[in-house]
């Protein structure tokens, strides 16, 4: 397991304590939840059972879970009518600390709305007086938040800890490619993003071009049909969801724009977009200075961006095994694709503890006239950070700083009382005059790609 030290320490410290636990671990599919939980269980001194739920319904899963428990205890499988019976059996058979991990618990909640109430009974009554801890794991973010974590859930207040597992930052993903330099890491991140399973597909000893050829463009490769697989596995109308994702990938960011692209009524898109958001496949972003304002939808994760830009439009060619034309198209436009990745990596770096400016929120800043790549605010000391990112072959000069200074007054946040700090990020470094200007001012910070990666 690469990185995830904080998550591992959190789960381990809870499960090794004296008190019975109900932990909730959730996050989008492929983000590493199962790997984390199984590593924690293997390293635990307590006996444990891991069970992967499926979509066959509550009764079938309860019987299979009971059989799994009996197998772990070298016992005869009991006859059970549901999860309450299964846990009663376990409570009778187990002495001392024991951990039960139920993976894809969100499947149970989705198929049976009574499941949270059933597990309230299990937690409050069946497991009362035992040392059996529960770890509930799920990939449907909305289902886990609404079914377990929300105030309306019967399980509300019973959890002892929760962790939403996020995709890896570029700095964390670097652990998969220890020999790559900073630029190679950003380019690779622009293909597979921060999803551990995707990162693990690439060979750390091969260059990016070879990895893309073998693991993304080649028919039969794990990543070749990955977005389609996710949609078919998780959603009931995969064709409609695919059309929405394709529209967003093509530049449609408002609900009306998406509706026009796919030929549907805008009023009917909310459910689809909410489901995609619940699976962390899209996200709604607002301007950093106006978090309650109009939002724009974008794809979540760099692999989806890459796949919809280069794989889906060229499927007919790739199906025939002709990867060369697609490779040529990638090489021609890849710098433009990576420029957006570079902006995202810059925003990640701004949120690290090593960055010289503290920000409580980080994102974009835009209005009808302009857009700033990196913007951060600190409500406590009323600081506004404005930054621009350039993934070009030319060194950045003073004109970029001047452009930022020119648009700064347009930012509607804390009026004239705020203090403003500027950050410039460049693939190819900075001109001498800009470096001199930065050295003379404490409100201007310059970062090369190498500087950026060292912040993580």
pLDDT confidence tier of residue 32, bands split at 50, 70 and 90: very high
| Residue 51, CB-side half-sphere exposure with 13 Å CA sphere | 27
Q: Are 220 and 252 in contact (CB under 8 A)?
A: no
Residue 423 predicted with pLDDT over 90? yes
Could you report the per-residue pLDDT of 38-71, keeping only the tens digit for each? 999 999 999 999 999 999 999 999 999 999 999 9
Measure the CA–CA gap between 428 and 20, rounded to whole angstroms.
54
Residue 256: per-residue pLDDT: 94
Q: What is the pLDDT of residue 409?
A: 78
Least confident range of 78-82, 186-190, 294-298, 434-438: 294-298
Q: For the CA atoms of 125, 129, 131, 135, what is the dihedral angle to 10 degrees?
A: 20
Collapsed DSSP state (helix, strand, coil) of residue 55 = coil
Per-residue pLDDT tens digits for 370-386: 789 999 999 888 899 99
pLDDT at residue 290, rounded to an integer: 81
pLDDT at 370: 78
The pLDDT of residue 415 is 73
CATH topology of 5-164 equal to that of 351-454? no
227 SS3 class: helix
Q: What DSSP state is assigned to residue 351?
A: T
153-179 pLDDT tens trace: 999 989 999 999 999 999 999 999 999
Given the candidates 3.40.1350, 2.40.128, 1.20.140, 2.160.20, the CATH classification of the domain at 351-454 is 3.40.1350
Residue 292 pLDDT = 80
- Domain spanning 171-336, CATH class: mainly alpha
In what helix (H) or strand (E) does residue 299 lie, and over which residues does it extend? strand 296-299
pLDDT (0 to 100) of residue 295: 86
Domain limits, the chain: 5-164, 171-336, 351-454
**Distance in angstroms (rounded) separating the CA atoms of residues 99 and 80:** 20
> Looking at the predicted structure, is the pLDDT value of residue 182 above 90?
yes
What's the confidence (pLDDT) of residue 416?
A: 73
Please give the average per-residue pLDDT across 252-280, as a whole number: 93
* 8 Å CB contact between 127 and 22: no
pLDDT at 426: 98
Whole-number percent of the chain with pLDDT over 90:
87
pLDDT band (50, 70, 90) for residue 262: very high
Going by C-alpha positions, the residue among 451, 454, 406 that lies closest to residue 424 is: 451
Q: How far is CA 336 from the centre of its chain?
A: 23
115-124, 139-148, 194-203, 218-227: lowest mean pLDDT where? Answer: 139-148
Q: How many CB atoms lie within 10 A of CB 37?
A: 24
| 5-18 mean pLDDT | 94
pLDDT above 70 coverage of the chain, percent: 100
Confidence of residue 142 (pLDDT cuts 50, 70, 90): confident
Averaged pLDDT for residues 245-263: 95
> Tens digit of pLDDT for each residue in 338-359?
999 999 999 999 999 999 999 9
pLDDT tier at 294, thresholds 50, 70, 90: confident
Contact between 142 and 272 (Cβ < 8 Å)? no
pLDDT over threshold 90, residue 31 = yes
Top-tier CATH class for 5-164: alpha beta
In this predicted structure, what is the pLDDT of residue 293?
A: 79
**Alpha-carbon distances of 422 from 259, 374, 407, 443, rounded to whole Å:** 38, 10, 12, 6
pLDDT computed for residue 410 by the predictor: 77
pLDDT given for residue 177 in this prediction: 97
**Per-residue confidence band for 413, with pLDDT thresholds at 50, 70 and 90:** confident
Predicted pLDDT of residue 143: 87
Kind of pairing between the strands at 361-366 and 371-378: antiparallel
- Residues with Cβ within 8 Å of residue 354, at least 6 apart in sequence: 454, 455, 456
State which H helix or E strand residue 327 sits in. helix 324-350
């Amino acid at each position: 397991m690469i990185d995830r030290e904080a998550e591992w320490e959190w789960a381990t410290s809870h499960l090794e304590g004296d008190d019975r636990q109900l932990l909730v671990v959730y996050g989008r599919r492929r983000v590493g939840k199962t790997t984390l939980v199984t590593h924690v269980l293997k390293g635990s001194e307590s006996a444990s059972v891991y069970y992967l739920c499926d979509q066959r319904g509550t009764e079938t899963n309860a019987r299979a879970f009971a059989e799994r428990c009996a197998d772990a205890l070298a016992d005869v499988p009991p006859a059970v009518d549901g999860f309450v019976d299964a846990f009663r059996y376990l409570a009778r058979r187990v002495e001392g600390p024991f951990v039960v991990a139920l993976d894809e618990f969100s499947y149970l909640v989705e198929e049976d709305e009574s499941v949270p109430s059933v597990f309230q009974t299990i937690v409050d009554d069946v497991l009362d007086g035992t040392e059996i801890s529960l770890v509930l794991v799920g990939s449907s973010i909305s289902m886990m938040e609404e079914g377990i974590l929300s105030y309306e859930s019967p399980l509300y207040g019973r959890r002892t800890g929760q962790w939403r597992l996020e995709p890896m930052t570029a700095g964390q993903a670097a652990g998969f490619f220890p020999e790559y330099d900073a630029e190679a890491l950003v380019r690779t991140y622009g293909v597979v993003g921060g999803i551990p399973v995707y990162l693990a597909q690439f060979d750390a000893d091969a260059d990016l071009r070879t990895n893309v050829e073998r693991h993304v463009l080649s028919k039969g490769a794990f990543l070749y049909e990955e977005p389609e697989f996710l949609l078919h596995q998780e959603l009931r109308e995969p064709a409609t969801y695919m059309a929405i994702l394709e529209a967003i990938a093509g530049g449609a960011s408002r609900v009306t724009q998406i509706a026009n692209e796919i030929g549907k009524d805008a009023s009917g898109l909310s459910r689809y977009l909410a489901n995609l958001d619940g699976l962390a496949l899209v996200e709604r972003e607002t301007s950093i200075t106006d978090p309650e304002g109009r939002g724009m939808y974008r794809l979540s994760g760099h692999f989806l961006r890459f796949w919809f830009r280069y794989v889906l439009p060229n499927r007919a060619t790739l199906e025939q095994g002709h990867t060369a034309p697609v490779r040529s198209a990638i090489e021609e436009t890849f710098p433009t694709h990576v420029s957006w990745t570079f902006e995202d990596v810059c925003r990640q770096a701004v949120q690290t503890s090593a960055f010289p400016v503290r920000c409580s929120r980080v994102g974009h800043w835009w209005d009808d006239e302009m857009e700033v790549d990196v913007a951060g605010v600190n409500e406590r000391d009323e600081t506004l950070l404005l930054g621009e990112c350039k993934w070009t072959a030319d060194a950045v000069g003073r004109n970029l700083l001047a452009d930022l200074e020119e648009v700064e007054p347009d930012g509607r946040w804390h009026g004239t009382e705020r203090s403003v700090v500027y950050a410039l990020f460049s693939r190819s470094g900075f001109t001498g005059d800009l470096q001199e200007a930065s050295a003379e001012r404490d409100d201007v910070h310059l970062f090369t790609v190498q500087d950026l990666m060292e912040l993580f």
